[in-house]
Amino acid sequence: MKILVAVKRVVDYAVKVRVRPDRTAVDTGSVKMSMNPFCEIAVEEALRLREAGAASEVVAATVGPAQAADTLRTALAMGAARAVHVLHDPDPARPLLPLAVPQILRALALQESPGLLILGKQAIDDDCNQTGQMLAALLNWPQGTFASKVPSMLPEEEIHSHITWDAVQQHKEPFMPTDLRLNQPRYATLPNIMKAKSKVIKKVTPADLDVDVRSDMEVLRVDEPPKRKAGVILSSVDELLDKLKNEARVL
Amino acid sequence: MMNPTNSRTNDKCHCCLFGEPSPSHRTWRNPLLNITIVAKTKVSTLVVAEHEGGLVKPSSLSALVAAEAIAKENKVSLLLGGSGPALHKAAEHAAASHPLVNEFREGEEKLARQETDLHLLSLALQVLVADSDVFAHPLAEPWAELLRSVQQKGGYSHVIASSTSFGKNLLPRAAALLDVSPVTDVTAISEPRVFVRPIYAGNALCTVRYTGESPCMMSIRSTSFSPATESMSETKVAPITQVDLSFLSEASSRKSSWVNLTSQDTERPDLANARVVVTGGRGLKSAENFKLLEQLAEKLGAAVGATRAAVDAGYVPNELQVGQTGKIVAPELYIAFGVSGAIQHLAGMRDSKYIVAVNKDADAPIFQVADYGIVGDLFQVLEELLEKIPDKK
């Protein structure tokens, strides 16, 4: 079976983002970009399934501008066999929100016919937590969201979600957004990074896939969250209890 | 009903399925955009509610608060699914009928909560009940089919669920079936189709306008829509209607099945709704030391939370994790012991009313958001707090 993994290029998780002065978007101009952490876990899980003999090939895909090819190279350096890059340059006022992405991924899935799709559970930039669920619906596949444990993929097998309900038995092509608890992603070694340079990245456009990219969402403004006023450092527990009782009145 | 091959033209009314903006709609000018917006005066909302122990969950009551924020003249329907007596008890609770009121009269706090519940529940015009074993567990596949069917019959302008694990699992799937884009984690509603939602782990707030077809589907952050306690002016009983389940096919209910559930049984209040939360980070050093936090929580009637580092180190189970990838909390008081304050953690608690931080590193980022900080050894502070806080009566 083939596994298709969707990855996204986002602002690196360690970057403290700033809102642009014109309040139209978050400043992504000159900040470090990386693969979305949840996507890294998805790639790692796919590679482990391949290493366990449950999959024959891992294909990485992304939707995004030309620079998103770097993210695909990262997936290839980790061990994916090849990649598909769906070129799309979003307009900041109408960012590419879930709906277009699952439609594109659905078209890719129909071309590639993977036995399993793995996605991260959310991108750390738009925090939507939607693409996987929507993709499963469009393909009419079952979904196992927020997975934290995936035994080797065989029919009738269990996928554990970390949330307060657990273990969904899958019958057919399952598809799972992954959670942070699934695994520890590997680092790409230098030889693998070199090898990745010769792996194939196929470039297509949404039009090639017959997907009309539409956005049902218009960004009116992006604001800084309200600042909390600076607090005070206290010197004793007594002082703290006094403040909580008499100033904050929460005890 | 929904036309799957939506032709999206500008002369289409944005808020309903009529081809032309209909005369019953009022228009106003939006000063921000300088364009005229056509809005439908008729808003009708479907709230997908969760229930537990025969009661509608507080997070779903928050979804009702959000429904009220969309429009005062909102025709709200509440959808409940499941099977057996618990479902019917919850349906009666949702319909805000009297028998339940008399059943719980004990203690003032409970009563206050009940009155709030009933006030909110009285917003609901009708309660829709989907009674089938298929809905006994939160499996997205049959639930999404249910939501699609109910929406196609009811033609609601809005569909709301709370962004609990259930809501996040279900809503996007149902939205894709209806060919609309959902909006995640709404924290404020300024117009029927204009919302604020946090992005980048809460480091920016994005105001979006939904310009797609009906229904506008959203999950709301329950801590941003807390029910105001107010006394009941009237008790009205909403009619309870059984949903026609003939749409359920063998195929959709066989896609996945429920195997088992392992959950933490705890006496303490639920993390997402607790008034006080005490959280431990890596600084607690062991699962053993988390017991001290539990003792403090016991005294304060608080819920216990943890950082991702504490969860990864195996000190506590992961359902206690507070942060971008865990639970979002906004209690009145949040006390963090040995928590450095990583961006991902702050995203889960920055809206708390009062934040107290105890950490031996004076430069820890948590102190930038804390109202009260103590720089020192957390074990000493914990011990002293345990000594000085009287037992909860």
Q: Are residues B176 and B96 in the same domain?
A: yes
Domain boundary residue among B216, B242, B268? B242
Asked whether the predicted pLDDT for residue B374 surpasses 50, the reply is: yes
B57: Cα within 13 Å, side-chain hemisphere: 22
Instruction: Assess if residue B257 is contained within a domain.
Output: no
Name A201's bridge partners. A83
Q: Are residues B221 and B305 in the same domain?
A: no
Residues B182-198 pLDDT 10s: 999 999 999 999 999 99
Residue type, B211: T
Residues B202-247 pLDDT 10s: 999 999 999 999 999 999 998 899 877 665 556 678 888 999 988 8
B46 burial via Cβ count (<10 Å: 0-12, 13-18, 19+): buried
Domains identified in chain A and CATH numbers: 2-220 (3.40.50.620)
Q: Are residues B234 and B282 in the same domain?
A: no
Taking residues B163-182, report their average pLDDT: 94
Instruction: Assess if residue B266 is contained within a domain.
Output: no
Ordered alpha helix ranges (H), B259-322: 287-300, 308-312
Q: Are residues B214 and B309 in the same domain?
A: no
Instruction: Assess if residue B135 is contained within a domain.
Output: yes
Q: Are residues B209 and B292 in the same domain?
A: no
Q: Are residues B297 and B236 in the same domain?
A: no
Asked whether the predicted pLDDT for residue B98 surpasses 60, the reply is: no
Please choose, from the candidates A144, A59, A53, A128, the residue with its C-alpha nearest in 3D space to the C-alpha of residue A96: A128
Q: What pLDDT score was predicted for residue B231?
A: 57
Q: Are residues B50 and B129 in the same domain?
A: yes
**B349: alpha, beta or left? (left if phi > 0; alpha if psi -120 to 50):** alpha
Domain boundary residue among B186, B220, B242? B242
Instruction: Assess if residue B175 is contained within a domain.
Output: yes
Which residues in chain A have their CB less than 8 angstroms from residue B259's CB? 158, 166-169
The secondary structure of chain B in percent helix, strand, coil, rounded to multiples of 5, reads 35, 25, 40
Q: Are residues B288 and B216 in the same domain?
A: no
Domain count, chain B: 2
Chain B contact probe: residue of A171, A178, A240 with most B CBs at under 10 A: A240
Contact A133 B185 (CB under 8 A): no
Instruction: Assess if residue B36 is contained within a domain.
Output: no
Residue type, B315: Y
Counting one residue from chain A and one from chain B, the pairs whose CB atoms sit within 8 A come to 238
Instruction: Assess if residue B28 is contained within a domain.
Output: no
* pTM of the entire predicted model: 0.85
Q: B364 is in which domain, residue-wise?
A: 276-388
The CATH number for B313's domain is 3.40.50.1220
End-to-end CA distance of chain B: 57
Contact A127 B324 (CB under 8 A): yes
Which residues in chain A have their CB less than 8 angstroms from residue B208's CB? 217-220
Residues A73-131 pLDDT 10s: 999 999 999 999 999 987 766 677 778 999 999 999 999 998 889 999 999 999 999 99
Binding residues of B: 282, 307-308, 321-325, 338-345, 359
Q: Are residues B150 and B288 in the same domain?
A: no
Asked whether the predicted pLDDT for residue A160 surpasses 50, the reply is: no
Residues B322-357 pLDDT 10s: 998 788 899 999 999 999 999 889 989 998 999 999
Residues B73-94 pLDDT 10s: 889 999 999 999 999 999 988 8
Contact B318 A169 (CB under 8 A): no
The CATH number for B82's domain is 3.40.50.620
CA A169 – CA B131 distance, rounded (Å): 22
Instruction: Assess if residue B229 is contained within a domain.
Output: yes
Contact B140 A222 (CB under 8 A): no
Which residues in chain A have their CB less than 8 angstroms from residue B198's CB? 127, 225
Contact B204 A26 (CB under 8 A): yes
Q: Are residues B308 and B187 in the same domain?
A: no
CA pseudo-torsion sign B275, B276, B280, B286 = negative
Chain B contact probe: residue of A18, A128, A211 with most B CBs at under 10 A: A128
- DSSP letters spanning A175-205: EEEE-TTS--PPPPPHHHHHHHTTS-EEEE-
Residues A97-106 pLDDT 10s: 778 999 999 9
Residue A212 to chain B, least CA–CA distance (Å): 11
Instruction: Assess if residue B343 is contained within a domain.
Output: yes
Residue A186 to chain B, least CA–CA distance (Å): 17
End-to-end CA distance of chain A: 58
Domain boundary residue among B222, B242, B262? B242
Asked whether the predicted pLDDT for residue A14 surpasses 80, the reply is: yes
